[in-house]
Amino acid sequence: MSKKIASAAIRGANQVARQAEEELEKALAEHGPDKKVELPDTAYFLPVIYAMTGYKVEKIGDMQEVMKKINNLVPEEPKDKVWTPYLGPTLDAGMATLFADEIIESLKYVEEPIPYHLEENCPPEGDDFWLGAANDNMFRKRGLEFVDGSAPGFAAIVGAAPSSEIAADIARELQEKNLYVFMSGANPDGVSFAEQLRQEGVQMGWETRLVPFGKDITATVFALGFASRVAMAFGGVQPGDYRRNLIYNKNRTYAFVLALDEVDDIKYAQAAGAINFGFPTIADTDIPEILPTGICTYEHVVAMPKQTEEEDIYDEIVSKAIEVRGLKVEVEEVPVPVSYGPAFEGEIIRKEDMFVEFGGQRTPSFEYLQMVKDSDSVEDGKVVVNGPKIDEIEEGSQLPLGVMVYIYGRDMQEDFEPVMERMIHTYFNQASGLWHNGQRDINWVRISKAAKEEGFTFENMGDIIHARMHQEYGSVLDKVEVHIHTDEEKVKELREDARDAYHQRDERIMGMEDTDVDTYYSCVLCQSFAPDHVCIITPERSGLCGGYTWLDAKANYEIIPTGPNQPVKKGECIDEELGQWRGVNEYLEEASRGNLERFSAYSMIVDPMTSCGCFECIATILPSANGIMTVPREYDGMTPSGMKFSTLAGQIGGGIQTPGFIGHSKLYIASEKFISADGGFRRLVWMPKMLKEEIGDRLNERAAKEGIEDFVSMIADEEVATTEEEVLEFMQEVGHPALEMEPMM
232 binds, among Zn ion, ligand SF4, none (CB under 5 to 8 A by kind): none
By the 8 A CB rule, do 131 and 212 touch?
yes
Give the shortest CB-662-to-ligand SF4 separation in angstroms: 12
What is the biggest distance separating any 2 CA atoms in the chain, rounded to whole angstroms? 87
Q: Cβ distance 609 to 544 under 8 Å?
A: yes
Q: Is 103 in the site for Zn ion (CB under 5 A)?
A: no
Which is nearer to Zn ion, 5 or 526 (by Cβ)?
Answer: 526
| Cα dist from 413 to 129, 404, 407, 505, whole Å | 48, 17, 10, 13
Q: How far is the CB of 564 from ligand SF4 (least distance, A)?
A: 6
In angstroms, what is the minimal distance from the CB of 544 to ligand SF4?
A: 5
Task: Determine the residue type at 204.
Answer: M
Q: Which residue in the shown chain puts its C-beta closest to ligand SF4? A: 543
The least CB distance from residue 148 to ligand SF4, in Å, is: 9
Strands 354-359 and 397-399, bridge-based pairing: parallel
Angle between helices 136-148 and 221-234 (to 10 degrees): 70
Q: Nearest distance from residue 612's CB to ligand SF4, in Å?
A: 5
Tell the smallest beta-carbon distance from residue 283 to ligand SF4 (Å): 40
Region binding Zn ion by CB under 5 A among candidate stretches 64-72, 366-374, 613-621, 714-722? 613-621
Nearer to ligand SF4, 407 or 596 (CB): 596
Shortest distance in whole angstroms from residue 611 CB to Zn ion: 8
Q: Find how far residue 231's CA is from the centre of its chain.
A: 15
* Pick from 635, 634, 732: nearest CA to 685: 732
If the CB atoms of residues 535 and 559 are measured against ligand SF4, the closer one turns out to be 535
| Residue with smaller CB distance to Zn ion, 399 or 648 | 648
CB of 645 to ligand SF4, least distance (A): 16
**Binding partner of 523, given ligand SF4, Zn ion, none, CB within 5-8 angstroms per partner class:** ligand SF4
The one segment of 321-329, 412-420, 542-550, 688-696 that binds ligand SF4 by CB under 6 A: 542-550
How far lies 534's CA from each of 13, 305, 531, 593, 656, in Å? 46, 51, 9, 11, 10
Q: Which residues contact 324 (CB under 8 A, 6 or more apart)?
A: 256, 280, 282, 296, 298, 299, 302
CB nearer to ligand SF4: give 407 or 675.
675
- Considering the complex, what minimum distance in angstroms separates the CB of residue 520 from ligand SF4? 12
Which of 1, 66, 287, 544 forms a contact with ligand SF4 (CB under 6 A)?
Answer: 544
Instruction: Determine the Cα–Cα distance for residues 212 and 206; give it in Å rounded to an integer.
Output: 9
Among ligand SF4, Zn ion, none, the one that 181 touches (CB under a kind-dependent 5 to 8 A) is: none
Burial classification of residue 21, based on how many CB atoms lie within 10 Å of its CB (0-12 exposed, 13-18 middle, 19 or more buried): middle
Helix (H) / strand (E) element for 554: namely helix 550-559
Q: Which is nearer to Zn ion, 157 or 612 (CB)?
A: 612
Binding site partner of 677, from Zn ion, ligand SF4, none, Cβ cut-off 5-8 A by kind: none
Of 199 and 595, which has the nearer Cβ to ligand SF4? Answer: 595
**115 close to 97: Cβ distance less than 8 angstroms:** no
Q: For 623, which DSSP code?
A: G
The answer to whether the CB of 68 falls within 8 A of the CB of 32 is no
Question: What part of residues 579-638 is at the interface with ligand SF4 (CB under 6 A)?
Answer: 612, 614
The span from the CA of 525 to the CA of 543, in Å, is 11
Count of residues near Zn ion by CB under 5 A: 3
Residue in 381, 547, 563, 623 binding ligand SF4, rule: CB under 6 A: 547
For Zn ion, the closer CB: 274 or 614 = 614
Number of residues that bind ligand SF4 (CB under 6 A): 12
**Based on CB atoms, which residue is closest to ligand SF4, 468 or 541?**
541
Q: Which is nearer to Zn ion, 100 or 545 (CB)?
A: 545
Judged by CB, which is closer to Zn ion: 482, or 526? Answer: 526
Q: Which residues touch 478 (CB under 8 Å, ≥6 apart)?
A: 375, 380, 408, 409, 410
Query: Which of these ranges, 301-309, 342-350, 541-549, 650-658, lies near ligand SF4 under the rule CB under 6 A?
Result: 541-549
**CB of 529 vs Zn ion, minimal distance in Å:** 8
Question: Which of Zn ion, ligand SF4, none binds 609 (CB below 5-8 Å, type-dependent)?
Answer: none
Separation of alpha carbons 46 and 57, rounded Å: 6
Site residues for ligand SF4, window 481-540 (CB under 6 A)?
A: 523-526, 535
Q: CB-based contacts of 208: which residues, under 8 Å, 6+ apart?
A: 121, 175, 202, 343, 344, 346, 347
In sequence order, the 6+-apart residues with CB closer than 8 A to the CB of 585 are 574, 597, 598, 599
Distances (CA, A) of 676 to 623, 700, 704: 18, 16, 16
Stretch that binds Zn ion, among 176-184, 488-496, 515-523, 524-532 (CB under 5 A): 524-532
Q: How far apart are CA 17 and CA 99, in angstroms?
A: 9
User: Which residue, 206 or 548, is less far from ligand SF4 as judged by CB?
Assistant: 548
Contact region with Zn ion (CB under 5 A), list: 133-141, 351-359, 419-427, 520-528: 520-528
Q: Measured between alpha carbons, how far is 318 from 633 in angstroms, rounded to an integer?
A: 35
Residue type, 403: V
Tell which one of 50, 116, 548, 645 touches ligand SF4 (CB under 6 A).
Answer: 548
Closer by beta carbon to ligand SF4, 401 or else 553: 553
Residue 296 site contact among Zn ion, ligand SF4, none (CB < 5 to 8 Å, cut-off depends on kind): none
170 near Zn ion (CB under 5 A): no
- Residue 7 or 592: the one with the smaller Cβ distance to ligand SF4 is 592
Tell me how far, at minimum, the Cβ of 615 lies from ligand SF4, in Å: 7
Asked if 558 contacts 409 with a C-beta cutoff of 8 angstroms, the reply is: no
Please report how close the Cβ of residue 653 comes to Zn ion at its closest, in angstroms: 8
Non-local CB neighbours of 496 within 8 Å, separated by 6+ positions: none
Tell the smallest beta-carbon distance from residue 730 to ligand SF4 (Å): 32
**Which CB, 40 or 613, lies closer to ligand SF4?**
613
Do 321 and 170 touch, CB atoms closer than 8 A? no
Q: At how many degrees (to 10) do helices 88-111 and 62-73 cross?
A: 160
Looking at the Cβ atoms of 205 and 418, the one nearer to ligand SF4 is 418
Q: Which of 343, 480, 601, 612 binds Zn ion (CB under 5 A)?
A: 612
| SS3 at position 212 | strand
Q: Which of 734, 645, 709 is nearest to 726 (CA)?
A: 734
Q: Which does 227 bind (CB under 5 to 8 A by kind): Zn ion, ligand SF4, none?
A: none
* Residue among 52 and 544 whose Cβ is closer to ligand SF4: 544
The string of DSSP codes covering 335-370 is -SSS-BSGGGTT----GGGEEEEEETTTS-EEEEEE
Pick from ligand SF4, Zn ion, none: which does 535 bind, CB < 5 to 8 A by kind?
Answer: ligand SF4
Which range touches Zn ion (CB under 5 A), out of 371-379, 496-504, 509-517, 611-619? 611-619
Confirm or reject binding of residue 526 to Zn ion (CB under 5 A): yes
Dist. CA 273–CA 92, nearest whole Å: 8
What's the alpha-carbon Rg for the chain, to the nearest Å? 28
Interacting residues toward Zn ion by CB under 5 A = 526, 612, 614
- Chain residues that interact with ligand SF4, rule: CB under 6 A: 523-526, 535, 543-545, 547-548, 612, 614
